[in-house]
Amino acid sequence: MTLTSAIKASRRSNNKRATRGRGAAAASAASAMWGGRFSGGPSAVMERINPSIGFDRKMYRQDISGSIAHAEMLAAKRIIPPADAKAIVAGLKRIEAEIDRGAFAFKVALEDIHLNIESRLIELVGPAGGRVHTARSRNDQVATDLRLWVRDAIDEIDAALERLQAVLIRRAEEHADTILPGFTHLQPAQPVTFGHHLLAYVEMFGRDRGRFADARRRMNESPLGSAALAGTSFPIDRHMTAKALGFDRPCANSLDGVSDRDFAVEYLAAAAMCAVHLSRLAEEIVLWCSDQFRFIRLSDAFTTGSSIMPQKRNADAAELTRGKTGRIIGALNALLVVLKGLPLTFNKDMQEDKEPVFDATDTLVVCLAAAAGMVADMAVDAGAMRRATAGGFMTATDLADWLVRAGGMPFRQAHHAAGRIVKLAESREIGLDDLTLADMRAVEPRVTADVFKVLKVESAVKTRTSYGGTAPANVRRACKAARRRFLKGRAAKGT
Protein backbone atom coordinates (compact mmCIF):
# COMPACT_ATOMS: atom_id res chain seq x y z
CA MET A 1 0.00 0.00 0.00
CA THR A 2 1.38 3.41 -0.92
CA LEU A 3 1.28 6.32 1.50
CA THR A 4 -1.43 7.99 -0.57
CA SER A 5 -3.64 4.90 -0.55
CA ALA A 6 -3.04 4.51 3.18
CA ILE A 7 -4.22 8.08 3.78
CA LYS A 8 -7.32 7.49 1.66
CA ALA A 9 -8.03 4.31 3.56
CA SER A 10 -7.59 6.22 6.80
CA ARG A 11 -10.11 8.84 5.69
CA ARG A 12 -12.63 6.18 4.74
CA SER A 13 -12.11 4.52 8.11
CA ASN A 14 -12.52 7.80 9.96
CA ASN A 15 -15.73 8.56 8.04
CA LYS A 16 -17.20 5.21 8.99
CA ARG A 17 -16.10 5.71 12.59
CA ALA A 18 -17.87 9.07 12.69
CA THR A 19 -21.22 7.54 11.71
CA ARG A 20 -21.30 4.26 13.65
CA GLY A 21 -18.21 3.96 15.84
CA ARG A 22 -15.95 0.98 15.85
CA GLY A 23 -17.31 -0.96 18.80
CA ALA A 24 -15.44 -3.09 21.28
CA ALA A 25 -15.01 -5.95 18.86
CA ALA A 26 -13.32 -3.69 16.33
CA ALA A 27 -11.02 -1.97 18.83
CA SER A 28 -7.36 -2.68 18.30
CA ALA A 29 -5.44 -5.06 20.49
CA ALA A 30 -3.22 -2.15 21.47
CA SER A 31 -6.14 -0.14 22.83
CA ALA A 32 -7.06 -3.12 25.00
CA MET A 33 -3.65 -2.80 26.63
CA TRP A 34 -3.36 0.96 27.04
CA GLY A 35 -6.41 2.61 25.54
CA GLY A 36 -8.88 3.14 28.38
CA ARG A 37 -9.16 6.79 27.43
CA PHE A 38 -9.63 6.03 23.72
CA SER A 39 -12.93 5.09 22.10
CA GLY A 40 -11.61 4.65 18.57
CA GLY A 41 -8.69 2.88 16.94
CA PRO A 42 -5.73 4.25 15.03
CA SER A 43 -5.89 5.39 11.43
CA ALA A 44 -4.36 3.27 8.69
CA VAL A 45 -1.38 5.60 8.52
CA MET A 46 -0.92 5.44 12.30
CA GLU A 47 -1.00 1.67 12.11
CA ARG A 48 1.96 1.88 9.72
CA ILE A 49 4.07 4.53 11.42
CA ASN A 50 3.52 3.65 15.07
CA PRO A 51 4.41 -0.03 15.63
CA SER A 52 7.99 -1.04 16.41
CA ILE A 53 7.49 -4.78 16.79
CA GLY A 54 9.08 -5.32 13.38
CA PHE A 55 12.47 -4.45 14.86
CA ASP A 56 12.26 -4.25 18.65
CA ARG A 57 11.41 -7.95 18.88
CA LYS A 58 15.20 -8.32 18.93
CA MET A 59 15.02 -7.29 22.60
CA TYR A 60 12.73 -10.11 23.75
CA ARG A 61 15.34 -11.73 25.99
CA GLN A 62 16.17 -8.42 27.64
CA ASP A 63 12.50 -7.56 28.04
CA ILE A 64 11.77 -10.90 29.71
CA SER A 65 14.80 -10.60 31.99
CA GLY A 66 13.68 -7.14 33.08
CA SER A 67 10.13 -8.31 33.73
CA ILE A 68 11.30 -11.29 35.79
CA ALA A 69 13.53 -9.08 37.95
CA HIS A 70 10.71 -6.57 38.37
CA ALA A 71 8.11 -9.21 39.31
CA GLU A 72 10.41 -10.83 41.87
CA MET A 73 11.12 -7.44 43.42
CA LEU A 74 7.40 -6.62 43.57
CA ALA A 75 6.78 -9.87 45.44
CA ALA A 76 9.73 -9.32 47.78
CA LYS A 77 8.34 -5.87 48.66
CA ARG A 78 4.81 -7.35 49.11
CA ILE A 79 3.45 -5.15 46.36
CA ILE A 80 2.03 -8.20 44.55
CA PRO A 81 1.25 -11.68 45.95
CA PRO A 82 4.19 -14.12 45.79
CA ALA A 83 1.96 -16.66 44.04
CA ASP A 84 1.26 -14.16 41.26
CA ALA A 85 4.96 -13.38 40.89
CA LYS A 86 5.71 -17.09 40.63
CA ALA A 87 3.07 -17.48 37.91
CA ILE A 88 4.43 -14.41 36.09
CA VAL A 89 7.99 -15.75 36.11
CA ALA A 90 6.88 -19.17 34.87
CA GLY A 91 4.77 -17.58 32.15
CA LEU A 92 7.62 -15.33 31.01
CA LYS A 93 9.99 -18.28 30.78
CA ARG A 94 7.42 -20.14 28.70
CA ILE A 95 7.10 -17.12 26.39
CA GLU A 96 10.87 -17.00 25.99
CA ALA A 97 10.87 -20.65 24.98
CA GLU A 98 8.07 -20.01 22.48
CA ILE A 99 10.02 -17.15 20.86
CA ASP A 100 13.21 -19.23 20.83
CA ARG A 101 11.56 -22.00 18.85
CA GLY A 102 9.65 -19.64 16.53
CA ALA A 103 6.21 -20.49 17.95
CA PHE A 104 5.32 -17.02 19.21
CA ALA A 105 2.79 -15.00 17.20
CA PHE A 106 3.97 -11.39 17.12
CA LYS A 107 1.06 -8.98 16.60
CA VAL A 108 1.57 -5.63 14.91
CA ALA A 109 -1.56 -4.31 16.61
CA LEU A 110 0.22 -4.68 19.96
CA GLU A 111 2.84 -2.20 18.73
CA ASP A 112 5.99 -3.38 20.46
CA ILE A 113 7.78 -6.23 22.17
CA HIS A 114 6.64 -5.09 25.62
CA LEU A 115 2.90 -5.28 24.92
CA ASN A 116 3.28 -8.44 22.84
CA ILE A 117 4.89 -10.24 25.76
CA GLU A 118 2.53 -8.82 28.38
CA SER A 119 -0.52 -9.72 26.32
CA ARG A 120 0.68 -13.30 25.90
CA LEU A 121 1.51 -13.44 29.62
CA ILE A 122 -2.07 -12.55 30.52
CA GLU A 123 -3.29 -15.22 28.11
CA LEU A 124 -1.14 -17.81 29.88
CA VAL A 125 -1.57 -16.92 33.57
CA GLY A 126 -4.75 -14.87 33.62
CA PRO A 127 -5.29 -11.57 35.45
CA ALA A 128 -2.16 -12.13 37.55
CA GLY A 129 -0.16 -11.38 34.42
CA GLY A 130 -1.49 -7.84 34.50
CA ARG A 131 0.34 -7.22 37.76
CA VAL A 132 3.76 -7.31 36.07
CA HIS A 133 3.38 -3.70 34.95
CA THR A 134 2.79 -2.40 38.48
CA ALA A 135 5.18 0.45 39.35
CA ARG A 136 6.73 0.71 35.92
CA SER A 137 6.04 2.24 32.50
CA ARG A 138 6.98 1.33 28.98
CA ASN A 139 9.26 4.37 29.23
CA ASP A 140 11.57 2.86 31.84
CA GLN A 141 10.98 -0.62 30.42
CA VAL A 142 12.29 0.23 26.95
CA ALA A 143 15.19 2.24 28.38
CA THR A 144 16.17 -0.78 30.48
CA ASP A 145 15.76 -3.23 27.60
CA LEU A 146 17.92 -1.20 25.24
CA ARG A 147 20.68 -0.78 27.83
CA LEU A 148 20.69 -4.52 28.40
CA TRP A 149 20.75 -5.17 24.65
CA VAL A 150 23.59 -2.74 23.99
CA ARG A 151 25.53 -4.18 26.91
CA ASP A 152 25.19 -7.67 25.42
CA ALA A 153 26.21 -6.30 22.01
CA ILE A 154 29.35 -4.77 23.48
CA ASP A 155 30.30 -8.11 24.99
CA GLU A 156 29.82 -9.80 21.61
CA ILE A 157 31.84 -7.13 19.79
CA ASP A 158 34.63 -7.25 22.36
CA ALA A 159 34.96 -11.00 21.81
CA ALA A 160 35.04 -10.47 18.03
CA LEU A 161 37.71 -7.78 18.37
CA GLU A 162 39.79 -10.08 20.55
CA ARG A 163 39.57 -12.79 17.89
CA LEU A 164 40.70 -10.32 15.24
CA GLN A 165 43.61 -9.18 17.41
CA ALA A 166 44.64 -12.79 17.97
CA VAL A 167 44.80 -13.42 14.22
CA LEU A 168 46.73 -10.22 13.60
CA ILE A 169 49.25 -11.06 16.32
CA ARG A 170 49.75 -14.57 14.97
CA ARG A 171 50.34 -13.32 11.43
CA ALA A 172 52.62 -10.54 12.75
CA GLU A 173 54.77 -13.08 14.50
CA GLU A 174 54.98 -15.13 11.29
CA HIS A 175 56.20 -12.05 9.42
CA ALA A 176 58.44 -10.38 11.98
CA ASP A 177 61.27 -10.47 9.41
CA THR A 178 59.26 -9.82 6.22
CA ILE A 179 60.23 -6.44 4.77
CA LEU A 180 57.96 -4.18 2.74
CA PRO A 181 57.76 -0.46 2.01
CA GLY A 182 56.31 1.79 4.65
CA PHE A 183 54.32 4.62 3.08
CA THR A 184 53.48 8.23 3.75
CA HIS A 185 51.16 9.96 1.29
CA LEU A 186 51.02 6.48 -0.35
CA GLN A 187 54.60 7.10 -1.47
CA PRO A 188 57.48 4.80 -0.43
CA ALA A 189 58.98 6.25 2.74
CA GLN A 190 61.02 3.83 4.83
CA PRO A 191 61.26 0.03 4.97
CA VAL A 192 59.30 -1.68 7.74
CA THR A 193 58.42 -5.23 8.63
CA PHE A 194 55.04 -6.66 7.75
CA GLY A 195 54.68 -7.88 11.32
CA HIS A 196 55.15 -4.33 12.57
CA HIS A 197 52.53 -3.11 10.11
CA LEU A 198 49.98 -5.66 11.31
CA LEU A 199 50.64 -4.81 14.95
CA ALA A 200 49.59 -1.23 14.24
CA TYR A 201 46.06 -2.55 13.76
CA VAL A 202 46.29 -4.55 16.98
CA GLU A 203 46.82 -1.22 18.75
CA MET A 204 43.91 0.42 16.93
CA PHE A 205 41.53 -2.38 17.81
CA GLY A 206 42.83 -2.34 21.37
CA ARG A 207 41.75 1.29 21.66
CA ASP A 208 38.38 0.34 20.20
CA ARG A 209 37.96 -2.28 22.91
CA GLY A 210 38.81 0.37 25.48
CA ARG A 211 36.18 2.72 24.10
CA PHE A 212 33.52 0.00 24.18
CA ALA A 213 34.53 -0.93 27.73
CA ASP A 214 34.32 2.72 28.82
CA ALA A 215 30.88 3.03 27.26
CA ARG A 216 29.76 -0.17 28.98
CA ARG A 217 30.84 1.10 32.38
CA ARG A 218 29.01 4.38 31.94
CA MET A 219 25.79 2.78 30.68
CA ASN A 220 25.64 0.19 33.46
CA GLU A 221 22.95 1.98 35.49
CA SER A 222 19.37 0.76 35.65
CA PRO A 223 16.47 2.96 34.56
CA LEU A 224 13.94 0.38 35.83
CA GLY A 225 11.68 1.93 38.45
CA SER A 226 11.87 5.42 36.97
CA ALA A 227 8.36 4.61 35.69
CA ALA A 228 6.89 7.07 33.21
CA LEU A 229 9.17 9.93 34.32
CA ALA A 230 8.59 10.80 37.98
CA GLY A 231 9.24 7.55 39.80
CA THR A 232 6.45 5.71 41.60
CA SER A 233 4.53 5.83 44.87
CA PHE A 234 4.92 2.06 45.36
CA PRO A 235 7.67 1.06 47.85
CA ILE A 236 9.89 -0.57 45.21
CA ASP A 237 13.53 -1.54 45.63
CA ARG A 238 15.43 -0.27 42.59
CA HIS A 239 18.73 -1.49 43.94
CA MET A 240 17.36 -5.03 44.01
CA THR A 241 16.32 -4.98 40.35
CA ALA A 242 19.55 -3.27 39.32
CA LYS A 243 21.58 -6.00 41.00
CA ALA A 244 19.44 -8.77 39.54
CA LEU A 245 20.04 -7.41 36.02
CA GLY A 246 23.79 -6.96 36.48
CA PHE A 247 23.73 -3.17 36.72
CA ASP A 248 26.10 -1.37 39.06
CA ARG A 249 23.38 0.89 40.46
CA PRO A 250 20.02 2.48 39.57
CA CYS A 251 19.95 5.73 37.60
CA ALA A 252 19.90 8.57 40.13
CA ASN A 253 17.25 10.70 38.43
CA SER A 254 13.98 9.35 37.07
CA LEU A 255 13.69 12.03 34.38
CA ASP A 256 17.14 11.21 33.09
CA GLY A 257 16.50 7.50 33.49
CA VAL A 258 13.73 7.39 30.89
CA SER A 259 15.11 10.01 28.51
CA ASP A 260 18.83 9.26 28.42
CA ARG A 261 20.15 7.79 25.19
CA ASP A 262 23.73 8.93 25.70
CA PHE A 263 24.68 5.29 26.11
CA ALA A 264 23.39 4.45 22.64
CA VAL A 265 25.17 7.44 21.09
CA GLU A 266 28.42 6.58 22.83
CA TYR A 267 28.10 2.96 21.72
CA LEU A 268 27.55 4.04 18.11
CA ALA A 269 30.48 6.45 18.33
CA ALA A 270 32.73 3.58 19.42
CA ALA A 271 31.27 1.41 16.66
CA ALA A 272 31.89 4.12 14.06
CA MET A 273 35.53 4.53 15.13
CA CYS A 274 36.01 0.76 15.04
CA ALA A 275 34.45 0.64 11.58
CA VAL A 276 36.85 3.34 10.39
CA HIS A 277 39.77 1.21 11.57
CA LEU A 278 38.31 -1.80 9.76
CA SER A 279 37.93 0.33 6.65
CA ARG A 280 41.58 1.37 6.76
CA LEU A 281 42.65 -2.27 7.04
CA ALA A 282 40.26 -3.20 4.24
CA GLU A 283 41.68 -0.48 1.99
CA GLU A 284 45.19 -1.81 2.53
CA ILE A 285 44.05 -5.34 1.72
CA VAL A 286 42.50 -4.04 -1.52
CA LEU A 287 45.80 -2.35 -2.42
CA TRP A 288 47.95 -5.32 -1.42
CA CYS A 289 45.80 -7.65 -3.56
CA SER A 290 46.03 -5.43 -6.63
CA ASP A 291 48.23 -6.30 -9.59
CA GLN A 292 50.24 -3.16 -8.93
CA PHE A 293 51.28 -4.44 -5.46
CA ARG A 294 50.83 -8.24 -5.41
CA PHE A 295 51.83 -8.28 -1.75
CA ILE A 296 49.14 -10.76 -0.76
CA ARG A 297 46.59 -13.07 -2.32
CA LEU A 298 43.16 -13.92 -0.95
CA SER A 299 41.59 -17.29 -1.65
CA ASP A 300 38.23 -17.95 -3.26
CA ALA A 301 36.67 -17.75 0.20
CA PHE A 302 37.01 -13.94 0.29
CA THR A 303 37.04 -12.94 -3.37
CA THR A 304 34.64 -12.92 -6.30
CA GLY A 305 34.98 -12.95 -10.07
CA SER A 306 33.60 -10.82 -12.85
CA SER A 307 30.55 -11.58 -14.97
CA ILE A 308 32.43 -10.48 -18.10
CA MET A 309 36.18 -10.57 -17.36
CA PRO A 310 37.28 -14.13 -16.60
CA GLN A 311 40.68 -13.13 -15.27
CA LYS A 312 39.35 -11.00 -12.40
CA ARG A 313 39.73 -11.82 -8.71
CA ASN A 314 38.12 -9.03 -6.73
CA ALA A 315 38.69 -8.46 -3.02
CA ASP A 316 34.99 -7.93 -2.45
CA ALA A 317 34.99 -8.85 1.24
CA ALA A 318 37.46 -6.03 1.85
CA GLU A 319 35.57 -3.61 -0.39
CA LEU A 320 32.28 -4.35 1.36
CA THR A 321 33.88 -3.89 4.76
CA ARG A 322 35.17 -0.53 3.56
CA GLY A 323 31.78 0.43 2.16
CA LYS A 324 29.70 -0.66 5.15
CA THR A 325 31.56 1.81 7.33
CA GLY A 326 29.22 4.45 5.93
CA ARG A 327 26.20 2.66 7.38
CA ILE A 328 27.66 2.68 10.86
CA ILE A 329 28.71 6.33 10.68
CA GLY A 330 25.22 7.07 9.34
CA ALA A 331 23.65 5.29 12.31
CA LEU A 332 25.56 7.55 14.70
CA ASN A 333 24.52 10.66 12.80
CA ALA A 334 20.90 9.51 12.64
CA LEU A 335 20.60 9.08 16.40
CA LEU A 336 22.34 12.38 17.15
CA VAL A 337 19.85 14.15 14.89
CA VAL A 338 16.91 12.40 16.57
CA LEU A 339 18.03 13.52 20.02
CA LYS A 340 19.28 17.02 19.33
CA GLY A 341 15.99 18.87 19.87
CA LEU A 342 14.11 16.68 22.35
CA PRO A 343 12.83 18.15 25.61
CA LEU A 344 12.64 15.99 28.72
CA THR A 345 11.47 13.34 29.08
CA PHE A 346 10.33 10.55 26.80
CA ASN A 347 9.22 11.42 23.26
CA LYS A 348 8.09 8.95 20.62
CA ASP A 349 11.00 10.14 18.46
CA MET A 350 13.07 7.87 20.69
CA GLN A 351 11.55 4.87 18.98
CA GLU A 352 14.04 5.76 16.23
CA ASP A 353 16.94 4.86 18.51
CA LYS A 354 16.75 1.11 17.98
CA GLU A 355 17.03 0.53 14.24
CA PRO A 356 20.35 2.44 13.94
CA VAL A 357 21.73 0.55 16.94
CA PHE A 358 20.57 -2.82 15.63
CA ASP A 359 21.76 -2.23 12.07
CA ALA A 360 25.14 -0.86 13.15
CA THR A 361 25.66 -3.85 15.42
CA ASP A 362 24.80 -6.42 12.76
CA THR A 363 27.03 -4.60 10.27
CA LEU A 364 29.99 -4.27 12.61
CA VAL A 365 29.84 -7.91 13.72
CA VAL A 366 29.93 -9.22 10.14
CA CYS A 367 32.74 -6.81 9.19
CA LEU A 368 34.82 -7.94 12.17
CA ALA A 369 34.33 -11.55 11.15
CA ALA A 370 35.27 -10.72 7.55
CA ALA A 371 38.42 -8.89 8.63
CA ALA A 372 39.56 -11.75 10.86
CA GLY A 373 38.85 -14.19 8.04
CA MET A 374 40.82 -12.22 5.46
CA VAL A 375 43.85 -11.72 7.71
CA ALA A 376 43.93 -15.44 8.48
CA ASP A 377 43.37 -16.35 4.80
CA MET A 378 45.83 -14.06 3.07
CA ALA A 379 48.87 -15.65 1.44
CA VAL A 380 51.81 -13.26 1.80
CA ASP A 381 54.27 -12.82 -1.07
CA ALA A 382 57.39 -11.83 0.86
CA GLY A 383 59.41 -11.62 -2.34
CA ALA A 384 57.08 -9.09 -3.89
CA MET A 385 57.16 -7.02 -0.73
CA ARG A 386 60.96 -7.05 -0.65
CA ARG A 387 61.24 -6.16 -4.33
CA ALA A 388 58.97 -3.18 -3.79
CA THR A 389 61.56 -1.66 -1.46
CA ALA A 390 64.01 -1.27 -4.36
CA GLY A 391 62.45 2.00 -5.46
CA GLY A 392 61.88 5.26 -3.64
CA PHE A 393 65.36 5.60 -2.06
CA MET A 394 63.89 4.39 1.22
CA THR A 395 67.22 4.33 3.09
CA ALA A 396 67.83 8.05 2.51
CA THR A 397 66.93 8.78 6.14
CA ASP A 398 69.44 6.13 7.23
CA LEU A 399 72.09 7.91 5.13
CA ALA A 400 71.28 11.21 6.84
CA ASP A 401 71.35 9.56 10.27
CA TRP A 402 74.74 8.00 9.44
CA LEU A 403 76.13 11.42 8.49
CA VAL A 404 75.00 12.71 11.89
CA ARG A 405 76.57 9.81 13.76
CA ALA A 406 79.77 9.26 11.72
CA GLY A 407 80.35 12.74 10.31
CA GLY A 408 79.27 14.77 13.32
CA MET A 409 76.95 16.87 11.13
CA PRO A 410 73.82 18.65 12.39
CA PHE A 411 70.80 16.72 11.17
CA ARG A 412 69.49 19.51 8.96
CA GLN A 413 72.85 19.72 7.17
CA ALA A 414 73.01 15.93 6.91
CA HIS A 415 69.48 15.92 5.51
CA HIS A 416 70.56 18.37 2.81
CA ALA A 417 73.63 16.32 1.89
CA ALA A 418 71.62 13.08 1.74
CA GLY A 419 69.09 14.81 -0.51
CA ARG A 420 71.83 15.77 -2.96
CA ILE A 421 73.12 12.18 -3.00
CA VAL A 422 69.55 10.94 -3.67
CA LYS A 423 69.31 13.42 -6.54
CA LEU A 424 72.51 12.00 -8.02
CA ALA A 425 71.23 8.41 -7.82
CA GLU A 426 67.90 9.47 -9.27
CA SER A 427 69.60 11.16 -12.24
CA ARG A 428 71.40 7.90 -12.99
CA GLU A 429 68.27 5.80 -12.36
CA ILE A 430 70.04 3.59 -9.81
CA GLY A 431 69.62 2.87 -6.10
CA LEU A 432 71.57 4.56 -3.33
CA ASP A 433 73.57 1.41 -2.65
CA ASP A 434 74.47 1.23 -6.36
CA LEU A 435 76.44 4.48 -6.15
CA THR A 436 80.19 4.21 -5.66
CA LEU A 437 82.02 5.64 -2.70
CA ALA A 438 83.63 8.16 -5.04
CA ASP A 439 80.20 9.24 -6.28
CA MET A 440 79.04 10.00 -2.76
CA ARG A 441 82.29 11.62 -1.66
CA ALA A 442 82.02 13.98 -4.61
CA VAL A 443 78.83 15.26 -2.99
CA GLU A 444 79.88 14.96 0.65
CA PRO A 445 83.60 14.36 1.44
CA ARG A 446 82.87 13.02 4.94
CA VAL A 447 81.28 9.85 3.54
CA THR A 448 83.33 6.69 4.16
CA ALA A 449 82.98 3.07 3.11
CA ASP A 450 81.08 2.31 6.32
CA VAL A 451 78.05 4.07 4.83
CA PHE A 452 77.19 0.98 2.79
CA LYS A 453 76.31 -0.85 6.04
CA VAL A 454 73.22 1.31 6.42
CA LEU A 455 72.05 1.52 2.81
CA LYS A 456 70.57 -2.00 2.62
CA VAL A 457 66.91 -2.18 3.65
CA GLU A 458 67.63 -5.18 5.91
CA SER A 459 70.12 -3.08 7.85
CA ALA A 460 67.76 -0.14 7.97
CA VAL A 461 65.00 -2.30 9.46
CA LYS A 462 67.23 -4.02 12.01
CA THR A 463 68.53 -0.72 13.37
CA ARG A 464 65.04 0.60 14.18
CA THR A 465 65.24 -0.73 17.73
CA SER A 466 63.72 2.22 19.56
CA TYR A 467 60.65 1.35 21.63
CA GLY A 468 57.76 0.80 19.24
CA GLY A 469 60.13 0.54 16.26
CA THR A 470 60.00 -1.90 13.36
CA ALA A 471 63.09 -4.04 14.08
CA PRO A 472 62.26 -7.78 13.90
CA ALA A 473 63.42 -8.31 17.49
CA ASN A 474 61.05 -5.53 18.55
CA VAL A 475 58.20 -7.11 16.65
CA ARG A 476 58.65 -10.46 18.38
CA ARG A 477 58.72 -8.79 21.79
CA ALA A 478 55.69 -6.68 20.85
CA CYS A 479 53.72 -9.80 19.84
CA LYS A 480 54.33 -11.36 23.25
CA ALA A 481 53.40 -8.13 24.99
CA ALA A 482 50.23 -7.76 22.90
CA ARG A 483 49.15 -11.26 23.86
CA ARG A 484 49.53 -10.37 27.53
CA ARG A 485 47.71 -7.05 27.12
CA PHE A 486 44.82 -8.05 24.93
CA LEU A 487 44.21 -11.77 24.79
CA LYS A 488 42.81 -14.35 27.15
CA GLY A 489 41.79 -18.00 26.96
CA ARG A 490 42.13 -19.63 23.54
CA ALA A 491 42.83 -16.29 21.88
CA ALA A 492 45.98 -15.91 24.00
CA LYS A 493 47.40 -18.94 22.23
CA GLY A 494 46.72 -17.38 18.84
CA THR A 495 44.00 -19.88 17.95
CA–CA gap between residue 394 and residue 455 (Å, rounded): 9
148-171 burial, b if ≥16 CB within 10 A, otherwise e? bbbbebbeebeebbbbbbbbbbbb
CA–CA gap between residue 462 and residue 454 (Å, rounded): 10
Helix (H, G, I), strand (E, B) or coil at 464: coil
Instruction: Enumerate residues 6+ apart whose C-beta is below 8 A from 196.
Output: 172, 469, 470, 474, 475, 478
469 dihedral zone (left: phi>0; alpha: psi -120 to 50; beta)? beta
Cβ contacts of 67-72, under 8 Å, gap ≥ 24: 67/92, 67/117, 67/118, 67/132, 67/141, 68/92, 68/93, 69/224, 69/240, 69/241, 69/244, 69/245, 70/132, 70/135, 70/136, 70/224, 70/241, 71/131, 71/132, 72/244
The answer to whether the Cα torsion of 414, 417, 419, 424 is positive or negative is negative
Give the number of residues written for the chain: 495
| H-only helix segments in 220-304 | 238-244, 254-259, 262-289
Tell me which residues are annotated as active site: 185, 306
- Contact predicate 35/52, CB 8 Å: no
11-23 burial, b if ≥16 CB within 10 A, otherwise e? eebeeebeeeeee
Name 379's bridge partners: 297
Within the chain, what is the greatest distance between any pair of CA atoms? 107
- Which strand (E) or helix (H) includes residue 190? strand 187-193
- Contact predicate 150/139, CB 8 Å: no
β 221-222/249-250 pair status: parallel
CA–CA gap between residue 413 and residue 400 (Å, rounded): 9
Name 380's bridge partners: 296
